[in-house]
């Protein structure tokens, strides 16, 4: 069994306007030491998916009956969604799974030093003494390339620059030696030169710690640079998934193709940009059938708007949920 296997995950929100489906029966697996990229536009459900792995969604959330998130722990396994109290969830939250967020300024407590926050979580999740926890924290800060780590240890989040804060966040997330790291847009708030540094650092750490990473981003370029496999999400469904080279070089789903066409590319300055027509539908008005049919340039009239396409293998390990993939003859390049 894989390190993590998500099956039939359905996440719904109870709101004043009715029940909203944020994630619609998706499944994926994460192997040890693998980087899985989860890519999609805002509202596609990628962050909700990630938060479900630790049950971090707000209180008005409920999960579908057949949903399961199975996590391999040692020889046994557990279903994250069956854990009820926050006491039980400690095994998962910050233990087996750590998370780094997009905006490191918002994720550190502003009135507590970086060091005490790092020590605090080590005291909860490990049996280290306070002094040993402090030692490990400073070591981790050094490991992620923060100079004068013992000085930084006693500083507050506002005293660090954006790139440094994100490094500290990574150091904190990794100090408990999680099996899985969830990185939710970890470089989106950073400048490109700093982004390149942080991505490099993450690649090094994957090798060193041998953990699996679920890397969430809207930037396909970042995915191309770090991920082994990628899953493309649109309106709560995974429309295409597979090894990163195959998905980016020969995308099978019209959404992935459109997304790639709408990106400005530096090596093709004269090519016109092709936007995806229309806007992303509101989650309250999810289209029936294939969720992408309202904007799809290749939609089959009458079929895509009523039937839900199932995922099929277009290549070994490369799946796409589109009717066009079922009859390869109609497939356009």
Give which of 326, 253, 260, 327 is closest to 291, Cα–Cα. Answer: 253
Task: Please list every residue from 236 through 255 that binds another protein, using CB under 8 A.
Answer: 244-245, 248
How far apart are CB 198 and another protein at their closest, in Å? 11
Q: Which is nearer to another protein, 47 or 258 (CB)?
A: 258
User: Taking CB under 8 A as the rule, which mask of x and - marks residues 12-41 in contact with another protein?
Assistant: -----------------------------x
225 binds another protein (CB under 8 A): yes
76 binds another protein (CB under 8 A): no
Q: Are 96 and 179 in contact (CB under 8 A)?
A: yes
Q: Which stretch binds another protein (CB under 8 A): 82-90, 172-180, 264-272, 319-327?
A: 264-272
Determine the Cα–Cα distance for residues 162 and 56; give it in Å rounded to an integer. 25
207 binds another protein (CB under 8 A): no
100 binds another protein (CB under 8 A): no
Residues for the chain: how many in total?
333
297-306, long-range: CB within 8 Å, 24+ apart, which pairs?
297/254, 297/258, 298/254, 298/324, 298/332, 299/254, 300/324
SS3 (DSSP) at 69: strand
Give which of 168, 183, 169, 270 is closest to 219, Cα–Cα. Answer: 183
155 binds another protein (CB under 8 A): no
128 binds another protein (CB under 8 A): no
Q: Are 35 and 212 in contact (CB under 8 A)?
A: yes
Q: Which is nearer to another protein, 27 or 162 (CB)?
A: 162
Residues near another protein (CB under 8 A) are 41-42, 161-164, 191-197, 199-200, 218-222, 224-225, 244-245, 248, 258-260, 262-267, 269, 272-276, 279-280, 295
């Amino acid at each position: 069994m894989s390190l993590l296997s998500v099956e039939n995950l359905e996440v719904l929100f109870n709101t004043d306007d009715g029940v909203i489906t944020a994630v619609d029966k998706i499944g994926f697996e994460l192997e040890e030491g693998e980087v899985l990229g989860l890519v999609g536009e805002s509202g596609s459900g990628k962050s909700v998916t990630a938060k479900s792995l630790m049950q971090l969604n707000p209180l008005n959330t409920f999960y579908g009956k057949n949903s399961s998130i199975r996590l391999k722990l040692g020889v046994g396994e557990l279903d994250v969604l069956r854990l009820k109290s926050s006491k039980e969830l400690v095994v998962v939250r910050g233990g087996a799974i750590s998370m780094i967020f997009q905006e490191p300024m918002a994720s550190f407590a502003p009135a507590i030093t970086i060091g005490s926050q790092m020590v605090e979580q080590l005291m909860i999740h490990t049996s280290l003494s306070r002094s040993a926890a402090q030692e490990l924290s400073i070591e981790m800060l050094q490991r992620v390339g923060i100079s004068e780590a013992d000085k930084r240890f006693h500083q507050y989040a506002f005293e660090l620059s954006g790139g440094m804060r994100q490094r500290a966040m990574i150091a904190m997330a990794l100090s408990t030696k999680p099996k899985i790291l969830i990185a939710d847009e970890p470089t989106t708030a950073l400048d490109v030169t700093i982004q390149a540094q942080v991505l490099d650092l993450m690649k090094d750490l994957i090798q060193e710690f041998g953990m699996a990473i679920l890397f969430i981003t809207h930037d396909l370029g970042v995915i191309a640079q770090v991920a082994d496999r990628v899953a493309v999400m649109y309106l709560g469904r995974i429309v295409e998934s597979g090894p990163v080279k195959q998905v980016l070089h020969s995308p099978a789903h019209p959404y992935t193709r459109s997304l790639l066409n709408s990106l400005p590319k530096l090596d093709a300055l004269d090519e016109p940009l092709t936007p995806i027509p229309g806007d992303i539908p509101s989650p309250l008005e999810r289209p029936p059938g294939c969720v992408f049919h309202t904007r799809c340039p290749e939609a089959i009239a009458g079929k895509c708007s009523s039937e839900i396409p199932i995922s099929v293998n277009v290549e070994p390990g490369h799946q796409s949920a589109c009717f066009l993939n079922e009859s390869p003859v109609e497939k356009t390049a």
